[in-house]
Structure 1
Amino acid sequence: MKLIKKIATIATSLSLLSVLATTPNHTVSAQEETPIKIGVLQHVEHEALNDAQQGFIDRMNEEYGDRIVWDIQNASGNIAGLQSLAEKLARESDILYAIATPAAQTLASVETQKPIFFSAVAAPLQAGLVDSMEEPGRNLTGTTNLGPIEDHVELLIKNFPEAKKIGILYNSSEVNAQHQVDIATKAMEAKELTPVLGTITSTNDIQQVLSSLLEEIDVLFMVTDNTVDSSIALVGDMAKEADVPTVGSSDSVVKANGLMTISNSYIDYGIQTAEMAIRYIEEDLTVAEMPVEIGENFVMIVNEEFAEEIGIEPSSLVGLD
Structure 2
Amino acid sequence: MNKKVLVTGGAGYIGSHVVRKLGQAGYDVVVYDNCSTGSRQAVLHGELIIGDLKDLECLYQVFCQHQFTAVLHFAASLNVPESVSHPLDYYANNTRNTLNLLRCCNNMGVNQIIFSSTAAVYGQPEMSPVTESTPTEPINPYGRSKLFCEWLIRDYAEASDFRYVILRYFNVAGAEPNGQLGQISKKASHLIGVTCDAALKRRIGVQIFGTDFPTPDGTAIRDYVHVDDLATAHLDALAYLEQGNESQILNCGYGQGYSVRQVIERVKVISGVDFPVIETERRPGDPACVIAGADKIRTLLSWQPKYNDLDQILYTTLAWEMHQKDLMLNSLAVVA
> What TM-score bracket applies, with the shorter chain setting the length?
0.3 to 0.5
Higher helix share: 1
| TM-score normalised by the chain length of structure 1 | 0.42
